[in-house]
């Protein structure tokens, strides 16, 4: 049976069940004044009413999980042929509250329907891929295996097709004191240990509209306060974000929440610190960082968030110094959109053509170049980086022996409401 036929059949069953439930409820009401011989009939009405609630809840969840396979083989467009689930809708506060019902704002909102449609599609892919990842990632797994699983699942569910849809940026799999920008290169064999704290950060794009969302996993309960602190801080940043809100105010609120937590490790009580030189950012078409930075500490930045902007609200907490530095072999890269230099070395020129054709300004990693069949490109890549044609983003780490955590969501400041696009039932 085709997906469309299954959907139609499911709709007919749901409508039949709803009619039956409504009739049963009326029977239950009428039975209150009848003889006890009809009590069983009223009881049946109550039982069906409970089933109605359960079906309604299943419909509300609506994340397509019921139709997805364990191997992530069904594109979300087949699970949601007409529209995709909306994210968490948050009405604006104070002076912007009137935006929710203002007719002019609602008309402006309708002008962005295609962008919202694409973003919701990307967000649904992210939810389903990360749900699968959370269920299978465990100690003993190799990071390359995890990255391949996430990226292949993303390609399948979003129906990857060049610049129309695909991976938003390389999968970040940063462990312990490494907070961000680590993904395995070919030949890397890093295995998760029982006491590790793993950050999983990956992106999905549809027509260049990127969903950027991240979560942290651990297998030792002693790290729960660290994860709780960062999750709370991220949700605080989401709550504070809004049209005309100053970025410094978002950062101050995040810092206050993050620093209210502490953790006990090896008999020592350690304050949890925000990593002050990491931040969230706004997102543009095919550009994961589009100019504005959302601090996670009070930094005095008077820049304001604006209507229509797409933001990644992410926070990082640490048991170390709360400051990261570049460390280790680089794996993340992105073409510099403002560079017009033409490389002289043939290998660099050839590699730049490959990068431009396949990634444009989207971030990429060495594994992606390998996947295209390129080889012996290291000199060319170094030349492009040295010439500032390509930007290198090495792993970012706090002090060795410390632990870091990350949570992140993508939201859009629509004219009428704030929509947390990547929100799910997991975080």
Which residues belong to the active site? 201, 212, 281, 289, 314, 408
Separation of alpha carbons 266 and 291, rounded Å: 41
Separation of alpha carbons 216 and 197, rounded Å: 7
Q: Is residue 212 within a helix (H) or strand (E), and if so which, with residue range?
A: strand 209-218
- 67-74: list long-range contacts, CB under 8 Å, 24+ apart: 67/3, 67/6, 68/128, 68/132, 70/132, 72/128, 72/129, 72/132, 72/152, 72/153, 72/156, 72/157, 73/156, 74/157
In 3-state terms, what secondary structure has residue 88?
strand
Which residues, 6 or more positions from 216, have their beta carbon under 8 angstroms from its beta carbon?
Answer: 197, 198, 199, 200, 227, 230, 405, 406, 407
Q: On the CB side of 126, how many CA atoms lie within 13 Å of its CA?
A: 37
Decide: 204 and 124 in contact? Cβ < 8 Å. no
Q: Where in 230-309 does DSSP place strands (E)?
A: 262-265, 268-271, 273-274, 280-283, 293-294
Separation of alpha carbons 240 and 235, rounded Å: 9
Decide: 228 and 261 in contact? Cβ < 8 Å. yes
Quick one: tokens of 81? Answer: 């042929």
According to DSSP, the β-strands at 178-180 and 310-318 are: unpaired
Say what angle helices 247-258 and 224-240 make with each other, to 10 degrees: 160
* Residues facing 313 on adjacent strands: 409
Q: Where in 20-91 does DSSP place strands (E)?
A: 88-91
């Amino acid at each position: 049976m085709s997906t469309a036929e299954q959907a139609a059949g499911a709709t007919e069953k749901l409508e039949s069940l709803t009619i039956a439930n409504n009739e049963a409820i009326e029977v239950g009401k009428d039975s209150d004044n009848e003889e006890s011989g009809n009590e069983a009939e009223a009881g049946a009405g109550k039982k069906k009413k409970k089933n109605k609630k359960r079906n309604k809840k299943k419909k509300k969840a609506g994340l397509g999980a019921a139709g997805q396979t364990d191997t992530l083989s069904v594109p979300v467009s087949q699970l949601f042929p007409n529209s995709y689930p909306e994210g968490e809708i948050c009405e604006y506060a104070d002076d912007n509250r009137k935006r929710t019902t203002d007719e002019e704002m609602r008309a402006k909102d309708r002008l962005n329907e295609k962008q919202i449609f694409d973003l919701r599609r990307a967000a649904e892919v992210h939810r389903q891929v990360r749900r699968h990842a959370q269920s299978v990632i465990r100690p003993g797994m190799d990071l390359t295996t995890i990255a391949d699983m996430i990226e292949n699942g993303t390609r399948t569910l979003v129906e990857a097709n060049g610049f129309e849809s695909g991976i938003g940026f390389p999968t970040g799999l940063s462990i312990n004191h490494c907070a961000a920008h680590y993904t395995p290169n070919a030949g890397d064999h890093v295995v998760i240990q029982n006491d590790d704290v793993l950050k999983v950060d990956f992106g999905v794009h549809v027509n260049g509209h990127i969903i950027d969302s991240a979560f942290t996993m651990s297998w030792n309960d002693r790290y729960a306060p660290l994860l709780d602190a960062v999750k709370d801080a991220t949700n605080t940043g989401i709550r504070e974000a809004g049209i005309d809100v100053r970025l410094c105010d978002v950062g101050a609120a995040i810092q206050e929440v993050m620093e209210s937590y502490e953790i006990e490790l090896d008999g020592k009580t350690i304050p949890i610190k925000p990593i002050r030189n990491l931040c969230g950012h706004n997102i543009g078409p095919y550009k994961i960082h589009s100019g504005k930075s959302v601090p996670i500490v009070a930094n005095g930045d008077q820049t304001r968030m604006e209507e229509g902007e797409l933001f990644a609200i992410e926070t990082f907490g640490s048991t170390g110094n709360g400051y990261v530095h570049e460390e280790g072999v680089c794996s993340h890269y992105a073409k510099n959109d403002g560079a017009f230099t033409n490389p002289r070395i043939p290998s660099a020129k050839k590699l730049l053509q490959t990068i431009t054709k396949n990634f444009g300004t989207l971030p990429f990693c060495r594994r992606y170049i390998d996947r295209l069949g390129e080889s012996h490109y290291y000199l060319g890549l170094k030349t492009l980086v040295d010439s500032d044609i390509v930007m290198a983003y090495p792993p970012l780490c706090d002090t060795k022996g410390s632990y870091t955590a990350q949570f992140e969501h993508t939201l859009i400041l629509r004219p009428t409401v704030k929509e947390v696009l990547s929100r799910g039932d997991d975080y």
